[in-house]
């Protein structure tokens, strides 16, 4: 009953989504714009194939709320919090160098921001193509850190350089990280995008032990089928990724290869790797948005937009005598967008894992109702 009521409330809120919501205020005399922003998602997960490991569940997946300020051509800032996980998300101030020097040398951002390795997690949580990040991204993406970023965006390329020397606002994940990302975009028009990207980072953690793991691509379970376990003696961690995005009208293809190397003192280094490939077709003819990663669909029809998707992802955690396991997931999905504030998603995940000779093959059916502004 609680689940049906929650979903119903989100759907009622979404019924007003075709119109713009008054969530921003523009100051007079060019004083910029102050906006409220939020993302609320309710999930239902139903499992089969391995009932002993997974339990059906329904709950809020995200309760994100924050505020942004933007002064065109000069600066923008954001503070964003997830009340569901009780964690801060982005907190930053970004300044455009053109406003300071009269010429565009890029943008400088300072604060608590995302690291660049892991394409699906670098994008906005409100614009996920499927409900959860693929296996390799779950395992290898470092998350957010506190530091500084310089970013230069041009018509045919984009470059990011980042340096981090702090952890989260919750005083965790200290250490240092240096990171960079480059994307070549020979095509970058609405409905016509080619993106070839390279991401790399080196982390020097404050802890002397690391761990690499992933769970089934469902958000309401903490069960993990493959896991490296503790990796003592960790001195530094290298992460890298190769990216491909192609948007051609209503069709989109994304592919990514991720690797992680954990250097260890007194132990053999550990290597993890994984792949993601997925495609989507928007039956109503719209195109996915692109802003360095994939954005949501903005419907052009009063009845909304419908998208069909399929994804394959895998992750290999067997290395250096460690039987962390191997897993691959197949996912079929459907998204319905009503206006730009409401989305409904449905996924079916068929997983196969093998660890130390034990095979587990769970299935999951997931649904999400999402309101965002």
CATH number at residue 347: 2.40.160.10
Domain of 6 in residue numbering reads as 2-372
Relative to beta strand 305-319, strand 270-282 is antiparallel
Beta-carbon neighbour count of residue 222 at 10 Å?
6
pLDDT of residue 18: 47
Q: 148: burial class by Cβ within 10 Å (0-12, 13-18, 19+)?
A: middle
Q: Which residues pair with 157 in a beta bridge?
A: 184
Percent of the chain exceeding pLDDT 70 equals 94
16-64 per-position pLDDT tens digit: 444 566 789 999 988 999 999 999 999 999 999 876 789 999 999 999 9
Give, in degrees to the nearest 5, the angle at Cα 53 between 49 and 58: 90
Q: Where are the beta strands (DSSP E) in 49-84?
A: 57-71, 75-82
Instruction: Determine contact, residues 252/208, Cβ cutoff 8 Å.
Output: no
Q: What is the dihedral of CA 104, 109, 114, 119, to 10 degrees?
A: 0
Instruction: Determine contact, residues 335/306, Cβ cutoff 8 Å.
Output: yes
pLDDT of residue 22: 74
Tokens of 49: 């194939």
d(CA 360, CA 70): 49
Q: Which residues pair with 86 in a beta bridge?
A: none
Give, in degrees to the nearest 5, the angle at Cα 134 between 304 and 295: 35
pLDDT of residue 173: 76
Q: Which residues of the chain have pLDDT under 50?
A: 1, 4-5, 9, 12-18
**Residues 6 or more apart in contact with residue 230 via CB below 8 angstroms:** 209, 210, 211
Q: How many domains does the chain have?
A: 1
């Amino acid at each position: 009953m609680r689940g049906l009521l929650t979903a119903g409330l989100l759907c009622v809120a979404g019924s007003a989504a075709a119109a713009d919501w008054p969530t921003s205020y523009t100051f007079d005399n060019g004083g910029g714009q102050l906006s409220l922003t939020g993302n609320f998602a309710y999930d239902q997960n139903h499992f089969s194939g391995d009932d002993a490991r997974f339990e059906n569940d329904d709950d809020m997946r995200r309760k994100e709320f924050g505020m942004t300020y933007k002064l065109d051509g000069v600066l923008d800032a954001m503070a964003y919090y997830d009340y569901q996980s009780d964690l801060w998300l982005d907190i930053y101030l970004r300044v455009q160098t053109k406003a300071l020097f009269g010429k565009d040398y890029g943008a400088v951002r300072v604060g608590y921001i995302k690291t660049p390795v892991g394409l699906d997690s670098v994008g906005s949580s409100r614009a996920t193509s499927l409900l959860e990040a693929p296996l390799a991204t779950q395992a290898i993406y470092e998350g957010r850190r506190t530091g500084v970023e310089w970013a230069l965006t041009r018509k045919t390329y984009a470059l990011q350089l980042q340096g981090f020397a702090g952890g989260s606002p919750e005083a965790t994940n200290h250490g240092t990280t240096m990171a960079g990302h480059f994307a070549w975009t020979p095509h970058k028009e609405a409905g016509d995008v080619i993106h070839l990207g390279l991401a790399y980072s080196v982390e020097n953690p404050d802890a002397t032990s690391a761990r690499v793991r992933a769970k089934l691509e469902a958000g309401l379970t903490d069960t993990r089928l493959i896991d490296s376990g503790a990796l003592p003696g960790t001195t530094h961690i290298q992460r890298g990724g190769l990216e491909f995005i192609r948007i051609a009208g209503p069709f989109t293809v994304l592919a990514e290869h991720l690797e992680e190397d954990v250097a260890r003192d007194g132990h053999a280094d550990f290597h993890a790797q994984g792949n993601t490939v997925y495609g989507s077709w928007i039956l109503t003819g719209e195109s996915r948005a692109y802003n360095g990663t994939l954005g949501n669909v903005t419907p052009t029809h009063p009845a909304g937009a419908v998208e069909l998707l399929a994804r394959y992802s895998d992750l290999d955690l067997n290395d250096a005598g460690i039987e962390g396991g191997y897993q691959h997931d197949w996912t079929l999905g459907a998204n319905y967008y009503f206006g730009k504030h409401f989305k409904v998603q449905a996924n079916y995940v068929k997983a196969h894992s093998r660890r130390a000779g034990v095979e587990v093959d769970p299935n999951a059916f997931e649904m999400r109702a999402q309101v965002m502004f």
